[in-house]
Chain A
Amino acid sequence: MKPVRLDLSMTSVRELNDYLHHRLAAAGVRVVEILNPNGLHNIAVGLDYPVEVNLRGNAGYFIGGMNKQARINVYGNVGWSVAENIMSGSVYIKGNASECTAASGHGGLVVIEGDSSSRCGISMKGCDIVVGGSVGHMSGFMAQAGNLLVCGDAGAHLGDSLYEAVIYVRGKIHSLGADACEEPMTAADHATVGQLLKRAEIELSSKDFKRVASARTLYHWNAEAHQEY
């Protein structure tokens, strides 16, 4: 079956999402091409079907939010909160992403080939994020589960108030946030990083990555710390 083409200069985002939610499965469509996104918000949000969606151009906020099953490829840049609360499936961004990439994502894979700015992976709950470039400040803030892999550098306060998510960084770390600490890479870490790189189609070696995880000193209230961590 030929890919279905939808042009956002002629179709509204609401109509597009309605098609993706309700009419795609019945028509047996496997590939959807979206043209002229022009920075619009909420494109391909809430998909729950194993379809490939190719977006040709720059998208705005929330592209691929709450995704289940679908593979979404964006051939451009994206705005804030790409793949917010992703559940499964994958979202690949060929360009750069703005703030809050995959915020609170539960599952699935998010790949940003370029840079991802502030608060990448904030409060992530089990998804995997791979960033080919660098991440901005406060990335991995309060991240609870899953892996954030950064092939470039990490900005200030990386992994502040981390729970059980693990962050791997290949480049420089500007500074660690409260309770985040660098730990030795184990064999299991090398295996995880190797798999993530493979899934993201990035040819790098796991041996160049550092592991950042929670020191778990914030898990229990310490009255004697006087709020200094």
Chain B
Amino acid sequence: MCGIIGLMAKREDLRQSLGELVQPMFDCMAERGPDSAGLAVFGTALEPPHLRFSLFSESAGYDWSGMARSLDRDLGCSAELVTRDNHAEVVAAVEGDSLRQWIKQRADGVRVLAVGHSIELFKDVGRPDEVARRYGFSALRGTHCVGHTRMATESQVSPAHAHPFTAGEDFCLVHNGSLSNPYSLRRLLEEENLEFETDNDSEAACRFLQWRMRKGDTIERALGAALEKIDGFYTFLIGTAKQMVLIRDPFACKPAVVAETDQYVAISSEFRSLAHLPGVAEANIFEPLPEQIYVWRVAA
């Protein structure tokens, strides 16, 4: 099992309370995935050359301020820093790859969870309702978010193995299911010089899709390729700066339910975690079909 969660707000007032609506979904889906949780939230895009970096350190007392000073000194990027528990958000005028490289060489034990103009990402081990409180999910604002509660079945429980997984910029994926051929996907991608952070099957799917998109595919074409190449059980929910995308494997082995109103699109593994949403009794509630690609776009 695992739980997937997605919410896209169609109206400005709901964007201000996105986190308040999402927090109860984590409380409920904790039963499907009690060992870790994560959430990627997409908000107002930063103007280039600024990028937002979501960082994580396993050491509780990590000197984030010291890191930010060194970063300024080395890259001259006037980094702004907000920390919360084991997580830090850095906004800086720097190329994504430059900062990734710098972190790898100079910031021992720090991992880059996400990079982009819009994305901010939190993930950690622990009961999902507690993770959600620790990182203040209920206060988050944004146009849409993609979340996950994990029950590990094929690789270890660690903060890095929690979902969402990211690749490139403003791109993340959560997965309920298990893949049969993640290692052949990895070999394919390693030949293209892609690097992996974990041995997790969902990371392979995430990097495969983002690699296809970097080569020019639309998300629809990339998912068409995934249907051919990826073997196993999956409900994938993908977040990009302007989209939320859902697909289920050809057997529809893993659940998903969608509730859509004129105010929001909400997605979950189970209806019970949507039952608190305003107007859900009148929502268009449906089960996504197998192999069908569902794309929801952020309204201007």
Contact = CB atoms under 8 A, between A and B. Distances in A.
Interface of A: 38-41, 57-58, 60-61, 77, 79-80, 96, 98-99, 117-118, 136-138
B272 A60 contact: yes
B290 interface: yes
A136 B270 contact: no
Nearest to A117: B287
B275 A38 contact: yes
A7 to B, nearest CB: 14
A153 to B, nearest CB: 12
B96 interface: no
9 contacts: A39-B274, A57-B281, A58-B271, A60-B271, A96-B286, A98-B257, A99-B252, A99-B287, A136-B290
A117 B287 CA distance: 8
A21 to B, nearest CB: 22
B75 interface: no
B33 to A, nearest CB: 16
A58 B257 CA distance: 12
Contact of A79 (B252, B271, B286, B290): B271
B255 interface: yes
B179 interface: no
Nearest to B268: A39
Given A38-B272, A60-B270, A60-B271, A118 B255 contact: no
B157 interface: no
Contacts of A98: 255, 257, 287
Contacts of A40: 272
Interface centre among A41, A58, A60, A137 (most CB of B within 10 A): A58
B252 A136 contact: yes
B30 to A, nearest CB: 14
B285 A79 contact: no
B242 to A, nearest CB: 30
Contact of A118 (B257, B281, B290): B290
